[in-house]
Chain A
Amino acid sequence: MKIYVPMDSAAKALGADEVADAVRREAASRGIDAQIIRNGTRGMVWLEPLVEIDQGQGRIGYGPVTPEDVPALLDGKLESLGPVDEIPWYARQTRLTFARCGVIDPLDLDDYRAHGGLAGLRRACGMSQAEIIKETTDSGLRGRGGAGFPTGIKWKTVMEASAEQKYIVCNADEGDSGTFADRMIMEGDPFTLIEGMAIAGLGVGATRGYVYLRSEYPDAIRVMNDAVRIARQEGVLGPDVLGSGKAFDMEIRMGAGAYVCGEETSLLNSLEGRRGVVRAKPPLPALEGFLGRPTVVNNVISLATIPVIFEKGAAYYSGLGIGRSRGTATLQIAGNIKYGGLFETAFGVTLGEVVNEIGGGTASGRPVKAVQVGGPLGAYMPVSKFDTPMGYEEFDQNGGLIGHAGLVVFDDTADMLQMARFALEFCAVESCGKCTPCRLGAVRGVETVDRIAGGDPAAVDLLTDLCETMKDGSLCALGGLTPMPVMSALTQFPDDFACHKEAAE
C-alpha cells in the first residue's frame, strides 16, 4: 500500500507534517506495510492536507485530513473524495506544465522518467540549436513572469550573440502576492525546471545556469538543491548531458528579500552580489546580462513548460489558447476564495468562470467586490469585467494585465481606498531608488490618498496627475505599473473614495 502525504509548503502550513507523522505511527501500530511518499501538491489547496491511498486500484483521496482523522483513515472509515483524478476541479484542467506535480515523488528521477520526464531533453539533444529555437518560437510560449515576451525570440537573440560564455538565469523571485506556481513546481516537480533550463542551455549555447530563488521559500530551496545534486549524479547535468557530448550545469542562489529583485536587471545585479538596483536597458540582458555576458532570463513557469513542449511538440502546445496567448495559463486562485489553488487551463477561460465556477466565490460567503489580477502591480478588476477572457491582449484591452496569472479575490468588505494606499506604500518601500517619480512619487501618493480619506476633493486630481508622472517617468514596471492598481481602484470603485469626502462634510 502506498500513502501519499504532500510536502508542499502550503500543505505543510495546513498540517501535512503532523499528518505524515500520525500516518507513520498508526500504520506501524497496526502492522500495515505502507510506503509513505511525500509528493508535491495537486494544487487543490482547499483540500490540503490531501492524503492519497493507493492499494493497487488507483489513488483515492481524503481531505482535508487532520492528525486526529488518521486512525479512521487507516481503518477505512474516513469518507473519501473518490479517485483523485476524477475530482471535478482537477479533472477539468489541462495539466501540461503541472502534469506531474503532486503525482510523482519530487526527488525520484525514475518516477519522473516514468511520467514522461526527460523525453523533451532527449529530443532536444538530437536537434540543432536553430531547431530548438524554432520549436520554442513555434509553440507560441510567452514569458510567464509578467511581461509576456515571446520566449523563442529572447532565446534567438542570445543564441546569435557570440561570446565565450552565456548563461541561463531562472527568475524564481516570485514576489507577487497571490502567486505560488513557481514555488509549487519547484517543490513538487523540480526536475522539470532543471530539464527546461538544460534545453534552454542547449538551444542558446549556454553551459551554466542559475536559479535565483527567494529566501522566503526555504522548502523550495531545499528541494531544488537536492534535485540538482541528483540530476548531476545521474548525468542529466554536467559535462555530458544525457550522453549528448554537450555540457550544462547549474546552481541555486538565494535572494535576500527585495521585491524589485524580481525585475530581471535588478536580479542580475543581486546575483552578482550587488545592490539590486535596476539597470537601464539597453543593453538587453540577452546581450549583456550576468557578468556582462549574453543571458537568458526566464521565469520558472516559462522554463518548466519547455519540457512538455519538446515532449509533445510545438504544434500541440500552440493548438491550445486564444489569439496570441497560446498554450495554458497556470492560474493561481487566491485570497478570499472558497476553492483556492493552482488551476492550469488553456488561455481563454473568462475571469468570471475562474472566480465563480472554479473558485466557487468567496470563502466568507459574501459577494465578490474585486479581483486583483497579476500581482501588486496588476489592476483591480470589478465584477462588471468578469467576461474578460484570460489572454494577454484581452486583459490589456480591459485595463488590466495577466502578469504571473495570480488572482486575489476580495469580498465586499474590502476598502479600495486602503488597497490603493497599500499599493503606493508598497512601491515606496520596495523602490530601488533610481527614479524620482517612483521613489518620491509613491511617498507623495500615500499622503495624497490620506488627503482624499480626510475629505479633500482636490486630492483626487492630484493623485491622477501623480500616477501619470509615475507611469511615464519610471525605468521599470514597479514605478511604471503601480498606478495600475491605484487608478483601477479609483476609477472602478469611486464610492470608496467619495464616501470619505461625504463623511467629512
Chain B
Amino acid sequence: MLHALQDSYGYVPQEAVPVLADELNLGRAEIHGVISFYHDFRKAPAGRHVLKICRAEACQSMGGNALAEATLRKLGIGWHDTTSNGTVTVEPVYCLGLCACAPAAMLDDRVAGRVDEARMDKLLNEAGA
C-alpha cells in the first residue's frame, strides 16, 4: 500500500497517515513507525529523476566513494538532496547486486555498471541535471 502511494505521488504524503490509520484500524504512530523504518519511503517529493549510487563494500573497492563525492560536488548537493532545478535527487543505496561490475548506480529503474566520471556525466545529462 505504501509502495503504491509512493509510486503515484513519488513520496508518502504526511496527510496519508491518518487515512491509512483509519483504513487499517491502526494508530497513527504505528503507521508512522512503519514508514520511517524503511529507507525506500520518502516524506517529501523527490526530483523528476532519482539517482541511486551504491555505497557498499564492493563499490568502495573500485572507487565508489570518490565517484559519489565527485558527483555530489558537481551537483552542489548532499545525499538525499534534490538539485535546485528539481530534476535529480541523489540517494545512497546499499548494494544493487552489480558487484562484479562496480562501481554501480541506478537512474530511476535503469542500472549502470563500471561507472566512471564520464559515464556519470552522461547519466546526469540524460536526467537534465
- By a beta-carbon cutoff of 8 Å, the part of chain A in contact with chain B is 9-10, 12-14, 45-46, 48, 174-180, 182-183, 215-219, 254-259, 273-277, 332-337, 340-342, 363, 372, 376, 406, 408-411, 414, 419, 422, 426, 430
Of B37, B59, B100, the contact of A10 (CB 8 Å cutoff): B100
Most interface-central of A215, A335, A414, A426 (chain B CB within 10 A): A335
Name 7 A/B residue pairs within 8 A (Cβ), A-sorted: A46-B100, A179-B99, A332-B99, A335-B102, A336-B62, A419-B57, A430-B94
A182 to B97, CA, bound (A): 9
- Beyond A174-B97, A255-B40, A337-B100, 9 additional contacts (C-beta under 8 Å) are A12-B110, A179-B95, A256-B2, A257-B93, A332-B100, A334-B58, A335-B58, A340-B101, A422-B57
Residues of B within 8 A of A174 (CB): 95, 97
Q: Tell me the nearest residue of chain A to B34, going by C-beta.
A: A275
Q: Which residues 77-119 in B have Cβ within 8 Å of A in the complex?
A: 93-102, 104, 106, 109-114
B41 touches A (CB below 8 Å): yes
Q: Shortest beta-carbon distance, B48 to chain A, in Å?
A: 18
Residues of B within 8 A of A332 (CB): 99-100
Of A13, A215, A342, A422, the contact of B112 (CB 8 Å cutoff): A13
Of A179, A257, A426, the contact of B39 (CB 8 Å cutoff): A257
Contact with A along B40-69 (1 / 0, CB 8 A): 110000000000000011111110000000
Residues of B within 8 A of A217 (CB): 97
- By a beta-carbon cutoff of 8 Å, the part of chain B in contact with chain A is 1-3, 33-34, 37-41, 56-62, 93-102, 104, 106, 109-114
Q: Tell me the nearest residue of chain B to A273, going by C-beta.
A: B34
Q: Is the CB of B112 within 8 A of A178?
A: no
Q: Is the CB of A175 within 8 A of B99?
A: no
Q: Is the CB of A409 within 8 A of B61?
A: yes
Residues of B within 8 A of A178 (CB): 56-58, 95, 99
Q: Tell me the nearest residue of chain B to A12, going by C-beta.
A: B111
Q: Tell me the nearest residue of chain B to A174, going by C-beta.
A: B97
Given A254-B3, A422-B60, A180 and B98 touching (CB < 8 A)? yes
Of B34, B38, B57, B106, the contact of A177 (CB 8 Å cutoff): B57
Q: Is the CB of B98 within 8 A of A176?
A: no
Q: Shortest beta-carbon distance, A331 to chain B, in Å?
A: 11
Residues of B within 8 A of A48 (CB): 101
Q: Shortest beta-carbon distance, A397 to chain B, in Å?
A: 24
A255 to B95, CA, bound (A): 14
Given A13-B113, A179-B97, A180-B100, A276 and B38 touching (CB < 8 A)? yes
